[in-house]
């Protein structure tokens, strides 16, 4: 595997981690973002759907940052 490919893999994982982390943080700050943005209430106003999305985004950020770190260490 070439050095350029490993470097680009690091930046892709880093960008995904940053985007997911910011989106997860925003989803925890505004827990009713689905109702505000679409007008729909998939969980009847309970908020569990939004918290599920926030959790999934934070987990995606953690796993992507771990992959980015592994790519960086291998360089």
> Token match 């759907």: residue?
49
36-64 residue pLDDT tens: 888 878 777 777 888 888 899 999 999 99
> So what's the pLDDT on residue 59?
95
List, as one string, the DSSP characters of 18-67: HHHHHHHHHHHHSTTHHHHHHS--TTTT--HHHHHHHHHHHHHHHHHHHH
φ, ψ (nearest 5 deg) of residue 67: -65, -40
Question: Which is more confidently placed, 35 or 2?
Answer: 35
> Is pTM beyond 0.85 here?
no
> So what's the pLDDT on residue 66?
95
- Domain boundaries defined on the chain: 3-74
Mean pLDDT of 10-19: 93
């Amino acid at each position: 595997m070439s050095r350029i490919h490993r470097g680009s893999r690091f930046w892709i994982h880093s960008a995904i981690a940053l985007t997911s982390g910011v989106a997860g943080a925003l989803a925890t700050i505004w827990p009713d973002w689905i109702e505000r943005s679409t007008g729909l209430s998939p969980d009847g106003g309970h908020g569990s759907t939004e918290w599920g999305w926030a959790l999934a985004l934070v987990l995606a950020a953690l796993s992507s940052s771990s992959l980015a770190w592994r790519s960086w260490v291998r360089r």
